[in-house]
Amino acid sequence: MPLAVGGKALNALKEHPVFGFADWCLRGIGQVVFQNNPVSGLIILGALFFNSPIYGAIAVFGVVISTATAVLLQADKGLIRDGLFGFNGALVALALIAFTSEDFHYGAVPSVYLAVYIAFGSAMTAMVFTSLANLLGPHRVAPLTMPFVLVGWLFLFAVLKFHSIDAGPLAKPVSPTQYDGTVQYTLATWYKGIGNAIGQIFFQDNWISGYLIVLGIAVNSRVSAIMALLGANVAAFVAVVYGAPEGAISDGLFGYNAALTAIALGGFFLVLTPASALYTLFGVVVSTWLWASVAIFLEPIGMPVLTSTFVIVTWLMLIGVNGFAALVPVAPADAVTPEANRRRYFKASREG
């Protein structure tokens, strides 16, 4: 019966007065990819440390700050324990290091000024999460990573203008126009591109880390892990067919939003059926194209896309979904794993 690693034993940990906080933070890391499971969080954290101890440490810093902020503000305990206040905080911290470090690949240890700045940014995600949850509540749609995207953009701009934060030049290309369009596609474009796409969700320019993250997803949900891989594969395929630059594909830039859209629509917020599988495929293709679109839109102001494309596409495809009788939505509060969502739905159908 227990498809996911962990289960009951871990739920005991979640309630523990002392270890509980660590559990919530690990779930927070897992929630970046929709996995409410501390073992997933631990494996993903390992994938980050494998690429760079700096990124691993800063992810911990971010998730701790934003989760602690929610605790101090006495937010809903159920949401805190499910790691929902942590994932945006971790992502903001990773983004602020990634885009201020001279070497995007390894990151750099932040100055005290930058560390304070990151702490405020991560803390703010807890407030923005609650506000968006309030706004979206009546529409039964989750804030997704929008708190991260909003706070990330707002905090990234200002950082470039404060003397005490020495922001390097943005080393990482953030738009397809910054890549050479004449490079040939090879086998490595594909297998590195897939790994990097998953890695880019956490700003990791390391394809092996990407596959480790897939493993972290798989211990909680096989379907979500397959969706992540399918999303990245379809994105690479679409990008190749439409002649996108090789570098952007092999760096995983076309795929990271598509992979998240695939996890979100592919069984998590919609019961997995043939119809929702097609709907997910549609969303993945659109996410691939629109990553390029948002990147080109943001280029004049030098801002990275972050996961905005995923959020926009997923929101636009989910907010009205109760108007489509061909699909079965799952309310955010009820979404567990694709497997569990499907079991519950078919059980209810049989009984009803």
Binding site for a copy of itself (CB under 8 A): 72-76, 113, 117, 120, 123-124, 127-135, 138-139, 150, 154-158, 160-165, 176-177, 181, 241-244, 279, 282, 285-286, 289-290, 292-294, 296-297, 300-301, 312, 315-327
Is residue 123 within 8 A of residue 66, CB to CB? The reply is yes
Question: How far apart are CB 211 and a copy of itself at their closest, in Å?
Answer: 28
Cα(232)–Cα(252) distance, rounded to whole angstroms?
8
Question: How far apart are CB 334 and a copy of itself at their closest, in Å?
Answer: 19
Contact residues for 327 (Cβ-Cβ < 8 A; gap 6+)? 270, 271, 273, 275, 276, 279, 321
Task: Identify each DSSP E strand in 226-344 by its residue range.
Answer: none
Question: How far apart are CB 212 and a copy of itself at their closest, in Å?
Answer: 31
Cα(73)–Cα(23) distance, rounded to whole angstroms?
19
Cα(67)–Cα(50) distance, rounded to whole angstroms?
24
Select 143 or 216, whichever has its Cβ closest to a copy of itself.
143
Question: How far apart are CB 76 and a copy of itself at their closest, in Å?
Answer: 6
Select 107 or 147, whichever has its Cβ closest to a copy of itself.
147
What is the identity of the amino acid at 274? P
Residue 329 DSSP SS3:
strand
Please spell the DSSP secondary structure of 116-135, one letter per residue: HHHHHHHHHHHHHHHHHHHH
Q: Shortest CA distance to 88 belongs to which of 153, 134, 141, 137?
A: 153
Cα(139)–Cα(291) distance, rounded to whole angstroms?
25
Select 13 or 281, whichever has its Cβ closest to a copy of itself.
281
Backbone φ and ψ of 75, nearest 5°? -75, 175
Question: How far apart are CB 337 and a copy of itself at their closest, in Å?
Answer: 25
Question: How far apart are CB 24 and a copy of itself at their closest, in Å?
Answer: 16
Query: Is 276 exposed, middle or buried (CB count within 10 Å of its CB: 0-12, 13-18, 19+)?
Result: buried
Is residue 176 within 8 A of residue 293, CB to CB? The reply is no
Question: How far apart are CB 134 and a copy of itself at their closest, in Å?
Answer: 4
Select 121 or 267, whichever has its Cβ closest to a copy of itself.
121
Question: How far apart are CB 347 and a copy of itself at their closest, in Å?
Answer: 23
Select 177 or 186, whichever has its Cβ closest to a copy of itself.
177
Select 47 or 286, whichever has its Cβ closest to a copy of itself.
286
Select 11 or 186, whichever has its Cβ closest to a copy of itself.
186
Residue found under tokens 């993903």: 44
Is residue 48 within 8 A of residue 202, CB to CB? The reply is yes
Question: How far apart are CB 221 and a copy of itself at their closest, in Å?
Answer: 25
Cα(328)–Cα(170) distance, rounded to whole angstroms?
42
Residue found under tokens 């790994």: 195
Select 323 or 352, whichever has its Cβ closest to a copy of itself.
323
Select 106 or 324, whichever has its Cβ closest to a copy of itself.
324
